[in-house]
Amino acid sequence: MSELRRQFEERLGQLGVPVVLPAELEAMLTGKVFVSEHAVCKPWAARATCADPREADVTVTGCDALVAETGSVALLSAPVETRLSTLMAPLNVVVGGERQLVADMELVFEQFAGRLRPGAAAACLTFVTGPSRTTDIEKTLIFGVHGPKKLVFVFAEDGG
């Protein structure tokens, strides 16, 4: 396992995000399942039972980069659904490839400089770092206040 991957997985562990094997994912795809059109999500396309991420119980989505320093998943808005598919459902599964790993946020900016250039920019770049959470009531940590209560990560088998 590469050092970047080791650090990334360690960070996910600290954020309460399990890293599961593709085979283990099967059991999690219950209820209304939305699967995004990312190429890495193809293996689960047949499991989709819901076309609208607003109504889904589970969303499966790809991503554009993985940040080892913070355990973040980066998504650029695209014709493929990336915003609602990582925001609306109680359970969000992100599929990423080891090849997408970078050390820090600055390297994501370098890699996608062309899609951040004024006049040609993607509408939105989001770094997702763990599930939705709040500590507003007596500093008690509660997950899923608006977005996913649980985030799960899967390494694509072909390396993404």
How far, rounded to the nearest angstrom, does the alpha carbon of residue 23 sit from its chain's CA centroid?
A: 18
Number of residues near other proteins (by CB under 8 A) = 51
15 burial level (CB within 10 Å; 0-12, 13-18, 19+):
middle
Give the residue from 115, 34, 122, 125 showing the smallest Cα distance to 79: 122
CB of 149 to other proteins, least distance (A): 9
Amino acid identity for residue 33 in this structure: V
The binder of other proteins chosen from 59, 61, 100, 132 (CB under 8 A) = 132
Interface characters, 40-79, with other proteins (x: CB under 8 A): ------------x-x--------------xxxx----xxx
Q: Is 23 in the site for other proteins (CB under 8 A)?
A: no
Give the residue from 57, 63, 97, 94 showing the smallest Cα distance to 77: 63
CB of 15 to other proteins, least distance (A): 9
Q: Is 2 in the site for other proteins (CB under 8 A)?
A: no
CB of 135 to other proteins, least distance (A): 8
